[in-house]
Amino acid sequence: MEWVKDRKLDVYCLFRNDGIVLPIKLRLFDEDGVRQEFCIHRYKLIDGAGKENLPKAEMFRRSTVTFDCVIEVFGRERILRLMYASSDMRWSLLDIR
């Protein structure tokens, strides 16, 4: 599967009662137009500078929140950097490793 940054994707997520949003699963269409779904096995909260040093309460007061998410693709782990923009309620794929 060929990964393209800024590809439209759906993210299933959990909105906790304290306002924190957590990604659970993502869905996108591959280059052949076939829908692919991936469960997020692990994630890390990342601040704007790529660091993990902000308190969670501070992290979720921001207009965007960034996550490094681990998924499995064809038996191999991949790390995706996803960003959630609360202002327009959209998820973006920023990077693939």
pLDDT of residue 32: 82
Number of H helices, E strands in the chain: 1, 7
pLDDT of residue 56: 56
pLDDT of residue 4: 56
β-strand partners of 14: 22
pLDDT of residue 97: 86
pLDDT of residue 62: 63
Q: What is the mean pLDDT of each run of 10 residues along the chain (97 residues)?
A: 65 89 90 89 78 53 84 93 89 88
How would DSSP label each residue in 78-96?
Answer: EEEEEEEETTTTEEEEEEE
pLDDT of residue 20: 81
